[in-house]
Amino acid sequence: MGQKIEVTRLELSASPLRRLASRSQDGRVACRVLAIAHVLEGASRAEAASACGMDRQTLRDWVHRYNHDGIGGLSDAPRSGRPSSLSDEQLQDLKDLVLAGPDLWRSTG
């Protein structure tokens, strides 16, 4: 049987966490919230991680972040990354092309 992990932040029970997950706009955050709900319901680390498509160590890390920072701790930290080589105008043109769909691409290419 898998090792248990403990959620120490208990403001929300499993049911409200599941509702939050269903409303989340970020699929990765929703999976993390669901994993926390599984743990609160007594699932082992292996069971909760497997149900949410992550490994046990990753779940352990997310539980620690949730215990420390709450729901906000389940979001990815902002990353700076490499600056875009496209200008703002070029980015807008690209966005317009993508949103227009493939039919427009054929007619302009």
Q: Mean pLDDT over residues 76-93, rounded?
A: 91
Percentage above 70 pLDDT, the chain: 91
109 vs 103, 105, 106, CA distance in Å?
10, 6, 5
Question: What is the CB-side half-sphere exposure of residue 105 using CA atoms within 13 A?
Answer: 8
Q: Dihedral of CA 12/14/20/25: which sign? A: positive
Q: Where are the domains of the chain?
A: 14-74
CA 64 to chain CA mean position, Å: 15
Q: Mean pLDDT over residues 33-53, rounded?
A: 95
Specify the pTM.
Answer: 0.70
State how far the Cα of 4 lies from the Cα of 43, in Å rounded to an integer: 7
pLDDT digits (tens, 9 = 90+) for 4-28: 679 999 999 999 999 999 999 999 9
